[in-house]
Amino acid sequence: MHFKTIIAKLLSKEVSSLKEKQIIKALEIPPDSKLGDYAFPCFLLAKELKKNPNEIAKNLSQKLKMPKELSKAEAAGPYLNFFVNSTFLTQKILTEIFEKKENFGKPKPENKKIVVEYSQPNPNKPLHLGHLRNDSIGMAFSNLLEFYENKVARVNIINDRGIHICQGLVAYKKFGKNSTPEKEKLKGDKFAGKYYVLFHEKAKKDETLEKEAQKMLLDWERKDKNVRALWKKSRDWALEGFKETYKTFGSEFDKIYFESDLYDKAKPLIKKGLKTGVFVKDDKNRIIADLEKYKIPNKIILRSDGSSIYINQDMVLMLKKFKDYKFDESYYVVASEQDLYFKQLFKIMDLLGYSEAKKSHHLSYGLVLLPEGKLKSREGNTIDADDLIKQLKNSAQKEIIKRFPNVKKDELEKRALKIALAAIKFSMLKIDSKKNFTFVPQQSLSFEGDSGPYLMYSYARAKGILRKASNPENADFSLLKEKKELEVIKKLWHFKDAVQKSRSSNSMHHLCIYLNELATSFNSFYQDIPVLNAENKETVKARLSLVKAFSIVLKKALKLLNVEPLEQM
């Protein structure tokens, strides 16, 4: 039985006016665990009892008789604070962890099919800091959904069509001299990006370039052989580059969709919309979705010349995803700039009669900013994903060499990369996803304090102890009575709450903040309480069990965040 239910049963005997359910709802978790594990706010009874809450709390604390699961109830001002029986809790939590292992803290299974779309790179620009936040969220959220026993499809969409693509191609054709990424020793996405930037430099002085790009777009749509061949070559270069970064960063996809396959397949949808009056022709001969009656700005669906608008491909893609995965839920991990766009997309598809729309959710996250302002790749005010990873990896290497001067080169590389990625991912996930993220290098890249490496370090310390001992069998958990031991156990107990908070708010920061608290409690324990040198063998075994339990939960949680822990660092 859950502790809340036990407390509610206990209280409802004394407080006839409140039903058990109401009490369960009213129970809170005190801000500091020193105050208690659960709190009942006695304001709720003040009116009907005509007493002040402090008095009520005091009276109740004297009257209540504790069952075995609880140790005491203490009045603290207007709150009646309950303490769980720590021996009971320790036994329960540790037993559960060893039984369930990485399934400890698993919430009630949802058993749904879910599609998560994220990353959405642009083939004319290398991946940057914004993608790293996007991918971090997309991967971690997908992992979380899998923990709920959902079948998750991670998908990506490449916007490989349109005038911006042709701009890069024009520049390449004119100035590229049939060069290749190999010849210039550039990663494919960097190579493609170079010509896109070059186009905009040259186009400032030469207006014919823009016209050439427009002409190329028409040729592309006509499926001109030469244009298509060039286009495909360039796109594949970019994709090769992305693939490399994804592999390094740990972004994985079950499927990659291409806008070029989708953009012109919306005709039936548009026909349907016109027939049902969802779409109308406006005075400029454009087809628009009339959304004003829903207090959403109208959306253009087709240009006056009949050519496609970006949203066409997303309309098609939603149905394609459903065809491919029969999803119960579909998430779009896209920055908050596009809040309105997704409102429009979902409304339009809903009006067209597709129930997929109601299953679709925009997982909107705040922009990534630099202290000096917004990222603007065209103006060079950007942070390249590969560069950032490399830079962090270098500083991680330096730290490792300080500690292990004789570490082998490949081991050094491996560890440094994992530490670098942990730093990046954690710094991006620990902030409420709807909030803007200000990237302050000195802080975001820190290996200290509230950071990914801090968590890994705690894990490595735990593993360090476990390596030096044999597996603790038949430990007597009741020997764990130290305050610092109990603090860790209580944190382990709260793992599930953190998972559920992250799920219900669509933000991984709850889990991150929890993990930092968990690791802090462990480090404090580590500092004060000897494990291998405890006073007797039985205590050694009990403490080893605690260390092991901690390592199991932390490892699982890090994996949810898509952070790979190190056994040694």
Q: Which of residues 344-383 bind RNA (CB under 7 A)?
A: 366-367, 371, 373-374
Residue 437 engages RNA in binding (rule: CB under 7 A) = yes
Residue 286 engages RNA in binding (rule: CB under 7 A) = yes
Query: What does the block give as tokens for 345?
Result: 């997309």
> Which CB, 36 or 176, lies closer to RNA?
36
Determine phi and psi for 474, rounding to 5 degrees: 50, 45
Residue 251 engages RNA in binding (rule: CB under 7 A) = no
User: Which one of residues 527, 535, 536, 537 is an interface residue with RNA (CB under 7 A)?
Assistant: 527
Residue 438 engages RNA in binding (rule: CB under 7 A) = yes
> Which CB, 152 or 317, lies closer to RNA?
317
Query: What does the block give as tokens for 199?
Result: 């186009």
User: Which one of residues 411, 440, 476, 478 is an interface residue with RNA (CB under 7 A)?
Assistant: 440
Determine phi and psi for 43, rounding to 5 degrees: -55, -35
CB of 285 to RNA, least distance (A): 7
CB of 180 to RNA, least distance (A): 25
Supply the DSSP string of 497-560, one letter for each residue.
HHHHHHHHHT-THHHHHHHHHHHHHHHHHHHH--STT-SSHHHHHHHHHHHHHHHHHHHHHHHH
CB of 289 to RNA, least distance (A): 12
Closest CA to 159 of 384, 310, 322: 310
CB of 405 to RNA, least distance (A): 13
Instruction: Write down the residue that tokens 């978790």 correspond to.
Output: 29
Closest CA to 139 of 118, 122, 156, 158: 118
- Report the distance separating Cα 485 and Cα 401, nearest Å: 33
CB of 486 to RNA, least distance (A): 14
> Which CB, 152 or 425, lies closer to RNA?
425
> Within positions 448 to 467, which residues make up the interface with RNA, using CB under 7 A?
448-451, 453-454, 457, 460-461, 463-465
- Report the distance separating Cα 323 and Cα 496, nearest Å: 34
Q: Residue 240 carries which side chain, given as an amino acid letter?
A: E
- Angle 315-321-323 (CA atoms, 0-180°, nearest 5)? 105
- Report the distance separating Cα 267 and Cα 265, nearest Å: 6
Q: Residue 385 carries which side chain, given as an amino acid letter?
A: A
> Within positions 175 to 214, which residues make up the interface with RNA, using CB under 7 A?
none
> Which CB, 105 or 452, lies closer to RNA?
452
CB of 293 to RNA, least distance (A): 15
Residue 339 engages RNA in binding (rule: CB under 7 A) = yes
Using an 8 Å Cβ cutoff, are 431 and 509 in contact? yes
User: Which one of residues 21, 326, 340, 483 is an interface residue with RNA (CB under 7 A)?
Assistant: 340
Site string for RNA, 396-435 (x = CB under 7 A): x--xx-xx-----------x---x----------xxx-xx
Give the long-range contacts of residues 407-410, CB within 8 A, separation 24 or more: none
> Within positions 18 to 37, which residues make up the interface with RNA, using CB under 7 A?
26-32, 35-36
> Which CB, 89 or 114, lies closer to RNA?
89
Site string for RNA, 487-526 (x = CB under 7 A): ----------------------xx--x--x---x--xx-x
CB of 563 to RNA, least distance (A): 13
Site string for RNA, 67-96 (x = CB under 7 A): ---------xxxx-x---------------
User: Which residue stretch of 3-11, 203-211, 246-254, 305-313 sits at the interface with RNA (rule: CB under 7 A)?
Assistant: 305-313
Site string for RNA, 262-281 (x = CB under 7 A): --------------------
- Report the distance separating Cα 520 and Cα 491, nearest Å: 10
SS3 422: helix
Residue 11 engages RNA in binding (rule: CB under 7 A) = no
Query: What does the block give as tokens for 446?
Result: 């820190």
Residue 291 engages RNA in binding (rule: CB under 7 A) = no
How many residues contact RNA, by CB under 7 A? Answer: 102
Give the long-range contacts of residues 525-534, CB within 8 A, separation 24 or more: 525/482, 525/484, 525/485, 525/487, 525/488, 526/458, 526/461, 526/462, 528/484, 529/482, 529/484, 529/485, 531/465, 531/469, 532/465, 532/468, 532/469
